[in-house]
Amino acid sequence: MEMQALQVIALLLTGMGVGFASGLLGVGGCFIMVPVQFWALKSIGVDPTIAIRIAFGTNLLVVLPTALSG
């Protein structure tokens, strides 16, 4: 269950793209981050039912403080 260099690069680029879109458009990045995290977790062998829960939980943890402060 190791991440390959391509997966790490894809996650980094996605994070930068989501940050840019959030700053430019004022939208949250969950609509982009959840599918990308789900893909990354599935590709390293995590069960899909667990992977989607991890993806949603991680995004909730990141977005909730931002939503509460703004």
Per the model's pLDDT, the better-predicted residue between 62 and 35 turns out to be 35
Contact status, residue 17 vs residue 53, Cβ threshold 8 Å: no
Q: Which residues lie closer than 8 Å to 29 by C-beta, 6 or more apart?
A: 18, 19, 21, 22, 59, 63
Q: What is the pTM of this model?
A: 0.72
Q: Which pair of tokens denotes residue 4?
A: 């390959």
pLDDT, mean of residues 60-67: 81
- Cα(18)–Cα(21) distance, integer angstroms: 5
Classified as helix, coil or strand, 47 is coil
| pLDDT tens sequence across 10-47 | 888 888 888 888 788 777 778 888 988 898 889 888 99
